[in-house]
Structure 1
Amino acid sequence: MSPEPWDPGLQSERTRLAWVRTATALAAGGLGAAGLGVRSGASPPAVAAFVVAALCGGVLLARTHARFLKVQRALHEGRPLDDRADALVAWLGTLAVVAGAAVVVLTA
């Protein structure tokens, strides 16, 4: 008898909370940095990069429930997980924060 591919513990819930923390950090950090950039006269590319980060965080946050259900179904059915789209959005948001910070530092 082969073991189930998933553990009935709370791994999926912890992963969901990690995605929520990541999305919230991108959204709130991006909005805060963009607002601070506008008030302090930062260059438009820097502000735009922070806005992109905030949008990526918002998209990830909006997709949290759908992603959780998709992961649960895949685990229960023994299918491989495909979260490349969400990982790409998270990567793009993180890259936008780095780009915005680099522009701020280089133009200061």
Structure 2
Amino acid sequence: MERPDGPWDPGLQVERTTLAWLRTALAFVVGLLVLLRLLAHESVIAAAVCGALTLPLGLAISWLVWHRHLRGERRLHAEIPLPGGALPAAVAVLAVLAGSSGLIYVLFS
């Protein structure tokens, strides 16, 4: 069996990781849209505030995913360390904000 020229397998690891992060971001955005729809029935102002805090972050995470994919491809071929942890940190912040929005919904209903 022939060994790859670089530190990576010639498979699609970077692409699979990118797709997994995109699925995560999409799941958060769709879940937030449903939650905001439910929250709007209780308080339009609370829904607007939660939407203003969470939806731009969900879209920013999608941009971060694509940017991380491009940097990861370049870094793999240049044999330098892969990108840092900004994306997992942003997803953690989004999870906390989504949970807070859910808590607001529970308190209002």
Displacement over 6 Å in runs of 4+? none
Residue 59 (structure 1) shift: 0.8
Deviations 1:29-81 (A, max 9, x none): 2222113211x114845653354332221111223332211011112222222
Q: Give TM-score scaled by structure 1 length.
A: 0.78
Give the total of aligned pairs. 105
Q: Give TM-score scaled by structure 2 length.
A: 0.78
Deviations 1:2-33 (A, max 9, x none): x7321110111110101110111122222221
Alignment of 1:15-34 (within 5 A): 15-34=17-36
SS in 2 for 1:72: helix
Counterpart contact for 1:23–1:60, Cα < 8 Å: yes
Task: Give the fraction of aligned pairs with identical amino acids, expressed as a percent.
Answer: 30
Q: 1:7 aligns with which of 6, 9, 18?
A: 9
Gaps of 5+ in 2: none
- Give the superposed CA RMSD: 2.2
Name the stretch that deviates more: 81-90 or 44-53: 44-53
Which residue of the partner structure matches residue 37 of structure 1?
A: 39
